[in-house]
Chains A and B, each alone.
Chain A
Amino acid sequence: MGRQVSGPIPDTSVFDLRLSRRGRRLNKLCEALCSPQERDAFKRDEEAFMSRFGLTEGEKRLIRERNFQGLIDAGMNIYSMLKVGSATGNGLYKMGAQMRGETYEQFLSTRNISGAT
């Protein structure tokens, strides 16, 4: 780890090469969602799309359940996850509320100016 990243930070994931390796299949799937055709394919048949990228059963379950903290722990990068979020109707703040264990409304009530969305 060394001086730059010296230890775990509570309630925080640090996306490094080990996590990136673990999440390789998941991140490849997300990267594909940067094309409108692939987004359509994902929305049309999510199961087939996940199989195409060789996801394990555990990884597929995390996507099926929209388990965003689980996906982060499985190595999905947060910026990759925004693409899956968008394709499934879950914007950043919805995903964030879930990761905090709050409803969307509860989360918004914690913000300084919640209209800036």
Chain B
Amino acid sequence: MGRIVGGIGLSHVPSVGPVVDRKRTQEPAWKPLFDGYVPVREWLASLKPDVAIVVYNDHVADFTFDKYPTFALGVAESYAIGDEGFGTRPLPAVAGDVELSTHLAESLVYEHEFDLTLCQELAVEHGFLVPMNLCFPHAGDRWPVKAIPLQVNVIQHPLPTARRCYRLGEALRAAVESFPGDSRVVVMGTGGMSHQLQGKRFGFMNESFDQWFLDQLERDAPGLADITHQRIMEEAGAEAVELIMWLTMRGAAHGKRVHRHYYAPMTTGMGLIAFEG
């Protein structure tokens, strides 16, 4: 059967992409971020995962506002690298897991009544790729794990509630566990933490909110799932509402916290927290 072996909440700041591509990760301004991932990568290697389910949002690259799904699951053999308006990054396409994603789709729709948009073709961008760069760096033309994108609307309100995102995580766990094949799965909840990218409040961050969110995610995730979009946006900035995707990860990964890191150099609180499955 399938098994959730770990869960990671992490920011997907786009500027990390070019830093990886241009091999700038050891520069003084960036080293603290990448140092935080060294023990996480060692831990991940010891888990020997087969698949990463990446809960992320597209930033108007492959999903556009003419039709914007609330939840969309990739069910493809492979995911192309998207062009989000700045050219395509030099990364290999990401291999999917058709068997597992087909099972997840059937289980989530039939058993758990999550009515997902299902994607036979999907190009992934920084929301998905930066977490992969940080946790599962590619070597040559391949990534060390297969991956399944799970896209959430966190940019055009009405968004799904934090509670709904948490329940999706619980359903995802049950769906993985009912998979007949052997599969070791890591779930990543991405985005946030505090940041706002428009208006006079551009550049707003709130480290004390971010640390509180990390504490609550560890100690009382079902309680944290009561948080409203309004409270996140007021206290952590409008774009921080991406944090609801971390609740999907925590709904799926129930184990003890094994890593935690925080770095806020420019305009985003870049958080990292990892749990056992």
Contacts and interface: CB of A to CB of B under 8 A. Distances in A.
B234 interface: yes
Interface string B77-94: 000001111110000000
Interface in B199-241: 199-203, 228-230, 233-234, 237-239
B60 A116 contact: no
Contacts, number: 146
B266 A114 contact: yes
A115 B230 CA distance: 32
Interface string A89-117: 00011011101110000010011111111
Q: Which of A78, A81, A100, A107 has the largest number of chain B CB atoms within 10 A?
A: A78
Query: Which of under 10, 10 to 19, 20 to 34, or 35 or more describes the interface residues of B?
Result: 35 or more
Interface stretch (A27-35, A47-55, A59-67): A27-35
B202 A4 contact: no
B161 interface: yes
A74 interface: no
Contact of A78 (B15, B203, B233, B239): B239
Contacts of A113: 29, 265-266
Given A5-B229, A111-B265, A11 B199 contact: yes
A91 to B, nearest CB: 9
Contacts of A9: 230, 233-234, 238
B28 A115 contact: yes
Given A6-B228, A28-B64, 19 more contacts: A3-B230, A5-B157, A5-B228, A7-B230, A9-B233, A11-B201, A12-B201, A14-B233, A31-B60, A34-B61, A77-B60, A77-B155, A86-B86, A87-B85, A96-B197, A96-B202, A112-B266, A114-B266, A117-B15
Interface of A: 3-7, 9-17, 20, 24, 27-28, 30-31, 33-36, 39, 68-69, 72, 77-83, 86-87, 92-93, 95-97, 99-101, 107, 110-117
Interface of B: 15, 27-30, 33, 59-61, 64-66, 82-87, 155-159, 161, 196-203, 228-230, 233-234, 237-239, 264-267
12 contacts: A3-B230, A5-B230, A7-B230, A12-B233, A24-B65, A34-B82, A86-B85, A100-B200, A111-B265, A114-B29, A114-B266, A116-B265
